[in-house]
Structure 1
């Protein structure tokens, strides 16, 4: 028999005395095929130079065994940890993950949705961009009954399955911690309020202040992309006046900002935590390396990823049949107290 791409599953089946369907299932690592048969089939495939074409198979049976994922930035600790958890969970089901990065661009997000749909992914997991307020481009999945699950940054009114952290409670808990430490001039640096994360975190912050009959002072709240550069601009505004007008605490809506505020304050000679207390959000490992270490809210991203992947697989396998209702899961958060708030 001639080696090469011309050899098919029929050739393998003929050599081993098996049916083509058994060979196909063995090459796909089907659980109903014995390990002994899988080994024989794969050895024969290697010997004959045959490579299983998953794309061609998906065109034949309308199954790609692939899930699409769109996230804003792969480089962030939270997102990268979620990706790992999703991939590990999907691997248990013999599914692959196709990862796309929107770079916080609404237009690119729309292009990626259409590209993943055309690639025949069986479902889509999404954390939307900061600028996504119109979610109509996701309709292509709901119209075709392909499962769609949002996590972290989720739509407020768009009908969809959602996995999100308890952002209100996380912010409220962090701000209350600052207040119980004696702080009364607490600044807030967050993202735009049309994004569910930062709207809920701001509400948690504001309600904590109300509990002490306080309200955000002038020039104490900032809403922008949570990058190092934007955080430093907010710091310039916070620490521009006389020293007695400076905040005694800053609640930061991510750890990138918390790290930037910490570095800025140290460079200005501000003592942390004696003169300024800082809390972050996400519990990035870097918060344990910097001096002083930074108090932060633990979001449990591995649990978020596992829940998102588990939900989409249950929807694909029809173990979940929500009908006209959509499933919403809230992941609990915890405050990890460190040197930046504790004397």
Structure 2
């Protein structure tokens, strides 16, 4: 067979004809079988490139019941925490021979349902998902579970029992640490800007905030507790509401760093000195918190560790035989750490 212009419809049979080898040898060489000599493997790879051969992953998947692809659904790629998790997942999965299909729900439940259906139809071997803030019905993931495909929820996870692995940060502890730190720094009137209580994140962070306030016998002003989408605009609205009339809070715990940064900017505009008159703590340890003035105290979530734990779990579950479990019964808890900066400390 003469080797000319690349033909992306060429198959293993064409490579075999060109090299005068059996199709079985070509297949083994392309799959890095240990019994294939290195020279033969190199010849096969080189000829495959010349002919423009592309592996038909769908056909291979139908034969082996594996596609070596993993699906991932996240709220937004632009969020620092998720961007870091994605990078780690993709790099680590590649080391294990898996490709990653990344999908963005834009925090839309309907989009999340569509993406789950698309990934199921694509025959991914496993699904990783950080759900929307409004997801309370997880039935669109049932197909994966019923088919025996591991499902790993991380960060934003089901509150009720579900046959999937949960990998989450210790959000209760993170909120408790941040609020306790504000109290130890002298704050007695502490506000809390939180997210929707439909999400496990903000249920746990709200509980941690309340626990710290209760332990120190400090009153919670209901007018200073906000459960809303954690955007810059909403944070500015909350700050305006708290500081328009009467004495405002002397401490603020915000459930994300975007809100904490917005609070700092509002304080600067209104002449409220941080940390003297108002101390601010955020959540996630976004890189912006270290470069703003004053630098913001925040809770570190260790996104790279989250990504590593996800990959370790996926690989372990996919290595089980057909009778093995497809999920871990106990949640995998990721530790948190409070990073103290100038927004809460005058030292």
- TM-score for the superposition, normalised by structure 1: 0.94
Superposition map of 1:323-338 within 5 A: 326-338=329-341
Contact 1:294 1:339 (8 Å CA) reproduced = yes
The one of 153, 156, 168 equivalent to 2:156 is 153
Change (3 A) 1:25 1:215: farther
**How big is the alpha-carbon RMSD for the aligned residues of Structure 1 and Structure 2?**
1.9
Q: What is aligned with 1:281?
A: 283
Secondary structure in 2 matching 1:59: helix
Change (3 A) 1:35 1:285: farther
Q: Which range moved further: 288-297 or 10-19?
A: 10-19
The one of 158, 181, 185 equivalent to 1:181 is 185
Q: Distance in 2 between matches of 1:29 and 1:219?
A: 64
Residue deviations 1:252-285 (CA, integer Å, cap 9, x gap):
1011111111111111111110111111100000
Residue deviations 1:89-132 (CA, integer Å, cap 9, x gap):
11011111001111111111111111110011111000010000
Residue deviations 1:174-224 (CA, integer Å, cap 9, x gap):
111100000001100111122111111111111101111113113110001
Change (3 A) 1:62 1:7: same
Contact 2:165 2:327 (8 Å CA) reproduced = no
Q: Which range moved further: 56-65 or 162-171?
A: 56-65
Secondary structure in 1 matching 2:305: helix
Q: What is aligned with 1:56?
A: 59
- TM-score for the superposition, normalised by structure 2: 0.93
Which ranges of structure 1 fall in alignment gaps of 5 or more residues? Answer: none
Superposition map of 1:314-329 within 5 A: 314-318=316-320, 321-322=324-325, 326-329=329-332
Q: What is aligned with 2:196?
A: 192
Change (3 A) 1:89 1:211: same
Contact 2:148 2:326 (8 Å CA) reproduced = no
Q: Distance in 1 between matches of 2:34 and 2:261?
A: 48
Secondary structure in 2 matching 1:263: helix
Q: Which range moved further: 179-188 or 301-310?
A: 301-310
Which ranges of structure 2 fall in alignment gaps of 5 or more residues? Answer: none
Is it true that 1:127 corresponds to 2:130 in the alignment? yes
| Aligned residues between the structures | 341
The one of 214, 217, 228 equivalent to 2:218 is 214
Q: Distance in 2 between matches of 1:51 and 1:240?
A: 64
Q: What is aligned with 2:236?
A: 232
The one of 110, 113, 119 equivalent to 2:113 is 110
